[in-house]
Amino acid sequence: MKSSSPSSSPANRILSAIALTLAAATALATFATSARADVKLPNIIGSNMVLQRDVELTLWGWADADEAVSVQLGQSTAKTTANAKGEWKLKLPAQPAGGPHTLTIKGKNTIELTNVLVGEVWLASGQSNMAMSVFRTSSRTKDDVASAKYPRIRLFNVTAKKIAHILPQSNVDPSLAWAECTPESATDFSAVAYYFGRCIHKELDVPVGLISASWGGTRIESWMPPEAFALSGDEAVKAIGEKQSKQVDAHLASLQKALAAHEEPPPSPANHLSPFANFNGNIHPLIPFPIRGLLWYQGESNLAEGLAYTRKMEGLIKSWRAAWGQGDLPFFYVQLAPYRVKVFGRGNQELPFVMPEMWESQAAVLRTVPNTGMAVTTDLGNLNDVHPVTKEEVGRRLSLWALAKVYGRKDLVFSGPLYKSMKIEGPKIRLEFDHAEEGLATRDGQPPNWFQIADDTGEFVDAEAKIDGPTLLVSSEKVPKPTAVRFGWSPIAEPNLVNKAMLPASPFRTGR
């Protein structure tokens, strides 16, 4: 048997596909701009934007080959020269929060961007629960929309003009632009992102920029670039990326053939469900616009995957962080709310453990990836609807993670109880939790519910749970020699266990 060469290994093959893809995207961008001498900018860089404070500010765009380009923001200036492909990139020194400023870009022409602020910038992504707008998701819709008057909060709504593509794109839809937060601009903006940003803005009293880039019904694979599949560390996940990379290669070959023949380039064969496609169309054009962190609300389209979903999230987080090159960017995400799960493709049947296993998969990321945080929503669901409307509280819970972990609020309780360990004490099991130092409680004043206990047979029965300070004692007369506990292990579980900050406990099972 012949051994494979290093260049044919899965990792190198994926990296080669990435290089070809980026080369094709660059060629297309150069072709599109070569007829003009004007300096041009991607849409994410524009008037009314918020630039991230306290970090070097990367700016980029296009011009003539070898054209001199200069940028000025206040007293800060930087200069560069466009390369042979007409691409330019430069960095301005870090800036404190403030504004409004004018940002001036000069080449053979001059661009003046006005009303530019410096503050905190967050990118929110995922599927429909992240995409759902302020107008659709509040019990106080009219009041919330009417009160969305925050001139120092700025919104960039990629979700409104989202695209999917098999190749990385250099820009988002040309009609997209930054907007001040007003009732008009907030109406169709991501509710979770808006409520998160409003909390951050009020707590920090600095400008906040919010970028929404979500698409309902999408799988996590569509938001993963090719390298994310290799970074997952899972062979089955890697295989998905390799399969799609072959389609990329085929499309590149067709594209190169068309360009050589001066024919119309073939359309992208990818849709919003295809691996790479949403990253290419809706995330890649935003990189490397400096941001403070990332928000994620997705998973409904990846139910019944168990640990594979954990590996996909790990790959996505690592690849996005690598793409931005800002270290371990904070990545805060939402654990799905309970509902009556019906898994399409399995006879539309209700599967009892699909949702608990997803909760377990999401919670595992907290242990495997640093600088991550999870907002638990077991008390915020609608059992008959995958789209709960209580997005204001979801945004607030995400903001607690940011305020504590990013902005240094040491005295803030930012998470509900997370299972830590168990100890068998005769006929009972004692459970310990993180984020329960001040004690446990229930949100309705009743005994803790949705607990089950089992012995070596693995047969779980309903159990009684009693709060003992920061721990719980779980037992059942039917199980005199218990070995395991599970909590909230049902897709319709809405447990009442909370900590003293009234934040809910995440479902779990011991021994995993």
**What is the Cα–Cα distance from 434 to 418, expressed in whole angstroms?**
5
Quick one: tokens of 120? 């905190």
For residues 75 and 279, give the distance between their C-alpha atoms in angstroms, rounded to a whole number: 35
Residues 442, 301 share a domain: no
| Closest by Cα among 459, 168, 492, 489 to 341 | 492
Q: In DSSP terms, which residues pair with 464 in a beta bridge?
A: 475
Centre a 10 Å sphere on the Cβ of residue 469 and count the other Cβ atoms it contains: 10
Q: Is residue 10 domain-resident?
A: no
Q: Are residue 271 and residue 322 in the same domain, yes or no? A: yes
From the list 312, 288, 311, the residue with the least C-alpha distance to 223 is 312
Task: Calculate the CA 487 to chain-centre distance.
Answer: 27
Same domain for 383 and 477, yes or no, is no
Q: Is pLDDT at 13 greater than 70 in this prediction? A: no
- Regarding pTM above 0.85, the answer is yes
**Please, how many CA atoms are within 13 Å of residue 142, restricted to the half-sphere of its CB?**
0
Domain with residue 355: its CATH number is 3.40.50.1110
66 half-sphere exposure, CB direction, 13 A CA radius: 0
Question: For 124-147, what is each residue's pLDDT tens digit?
Answer: 999 999 999 998 765 556 778 889
* Structural domain contains residue 76: no
Least confident of 106-120, 222-236, 336-350: 336-350
Strand pairing class (57-62; 98-106): unpaired
Task: Tell me the Cα Rg of the chain.
Answer: 25
Question: Which tokens sit at 94?
Answer: 């870090």
pLDDT surpasses 80 at 278: yes
Distance CA 240, CA 204 (A): 42
pLDDT at 23 over 70: no
pLDDT confidence of residue 18: 42
Is residue 338 located within the same domain as residue 305?
yes
Helix 307-324, helix 354-368: angle, nearest 10: 40
pLDDT at 285 over 90: yes
257 lies in the same domain as 162: yes
pLDDT digits (tens, 9 = 90+) for 421-447: 999 999 999 999 999 999 999 999 999
How confident is the model over 359-387, as a mean pLDDT? Answer: 96
Q: CB atoms < 10 A from the CB of 507, how many? A: 26
Does some domain include residue 20? no
Co-location of 364 and 339 in the same domain: yes
- Residue 370 forms part of a structural domain: yes
Q: CA-CA distances (angstroms) from residue 7 to 11, 13, 16, 122, 237?
A: 9, 7, 9, 38, 20
Structural domains counted in the chain: 2
Give the H/E segment covering residue 229.
helix 226-231
Q: Model confidence at 32, in pLDDT bands (50, 70, 90)?
A: very low
List Cβ neighbours of 426 (8 Å cut-off, separation of 6 or more): none
Residue 6, pLDDT > 60, answer: no
191-217 pLDDT tens trace: 999 999 999 999 999 999 999 999 999
Closest CA to 270 of 21, 44, 42, 13: 21
CB 219 within 8 A of CB 128: no
- pLDDT-based confidence at residue 14 (cuts at 50, 70, 90): very low
| 365, 386, 415 - which closes a domain | 415
Give dist(CA 128, CA 159) in Å, integer: 10
Whether residues 326 and 363 share a domain: the answer is yes
Q: What is the pLDDT of residues 108-124, one digit of tens each?
A: 999 999 999 999 999 99
Does 18 fall in a domain? no
d(CA 415, CA 278): 30
pLDDT of residue 141: 61
Boundary (domain end) residue, out of 415, 434, 453: 415
The residue among 369, 393, 415 that closes a domain is: 415
Task: For residue 6, give the 3-state DSSP assignment.
Answer: helix
- Report pLDDT for 348: 45
C-alpha to C-alpha distances, 247 to 168, 275, 281, 299, nearest whole angstrom:
14, 10, 16, 25
In angstroms, the CA 50 to CA 115 distance is: 9
In-domain check, residue 302: yes
Choose between 345 and 384: higher pLDDT: 384
Q: Using one digit for the tens of pLDDT, what is the confidence trace for 414-425? A: 999 999 999 999
Residue 148 inside a domain? The answer is: yes
Q: Are residues 353 and 481 in the same domain?
A: no
Residue 30 is predicted with a pLDDT of 43
Which structure tokens are listed for 225? 């670039």
Q: Are the CB atoms for 371 and 329 separated by under 8 Å?
A: yes
* pLDDT at residue number 12: 44
Rounded Cα–Cα distance for residues 18 and 26 (Å): 12
Query: Any idea what DSSP says for residue 25?
Result: H
Are 470 and 327 within one domain?
no
Query: What's the pLDDT at 1?
Result: 35
Q: Is the domain of 434 the same as that of 410?
A: no
Give the whole-angstrom CA distance, residue 149 versus residue 182: 5
Domain-located, residue 105: no
Mean pLDDT of all residues belonging to the chain: 91
139 in the same domain as 280: yes
Confidence category of residue 24, pLDDT binned at 50, 70, 90:
very low
Q: In one letter, which amino acid is 335?
A: Q
Of 32, 359, 392, the closest CA to residue 196 belongs to: 392
Task: Tell me, yes or no, whether 203 and 307 share the same domain.
Answer: yes
Residues 158-170 have pLDDT tens digits of: 999 999 999 999 9
Q: Which domain holds residue 359?
A: 118-415
pLDDT given at position 344: 45
Residue pLDDT, tens place only, 379-410: 998 998 999 999 999 999 999 999 999 999 99
